[in-house]
Structure 1
Amino acid sequence: MSGDAWNLREYSTQQLIEELARRANEQPTNKPEHWCHECTHFVTWYDQHPMPRKECPDTYNPCTKGHAMKFLPPEDYDDEYGFYLPVCVDRDLQHDPSRPDPRPAVPARPRRR
């Protein structure tokens, strides 16, 4: 369905029923392994330097690489939520000391004499 979502009178009854069925049959979204706010390319409106003096426009994209992110809303009160991309070639994760490093440790090479 495209167009103005607030004006439902533009759609036929059949189109509305198909949209409800599509939404009811949608596969649940699994939690992503990495969130976009963990990436160094994610800059919120108020984290810019210098901080902007106006309100955030609807067209603002917090991804400095310009990727169109998806948003996962919370399902419960203390549930995780945020922007994510299942696959991102430009992902550059910030190091979080509370999380283990996902890369395996490389053993040191023995010295030859």
Structure 2
Amino acid sequence: MYATHSDYFDDAFNTVHGGQRIATILMYFSDVEEGGETVFPAAKGNFRFVPWWNELSDCGKKGLSIKPKMGDALLFWSMKPDGTLDPSSLHGGCPVIKGDKWSCTKWMRVNEW
């Protein structure tokens, strides 16, 4: 489990050294039997109609949630096309209830780090 957070920065050090994070790619290296969803609580929409809704843990039913599946990758943007920060990119990880979760993150920045 990890607490909800944004991948963009609001401090001068990071924005000067490598620039703002534009987007995140989260790669899943394992299936999780239960739990472990990546959740976007600030996302807007009626997500109860997504095909995997019934497979989500209670934590995963708070906003848009992605169930980890080995070989899948999740891309999300931290900035809007006009360069402003996107608060709907707020995300977190639900606890793994059964199984193991292995993942890797790659951040794309405005400049080289």
Q: Which has the larger radius of gyration?
A: 1
For normalisation by structure 1, the TM-score amounts to 0.24
Per the normalisation by structure 2, the TM-score is 0.24
Higher share in strand: 2
Higher relative CO (CA 8 A, sep ≥ 6), structure 1 or 2? Answer: 2
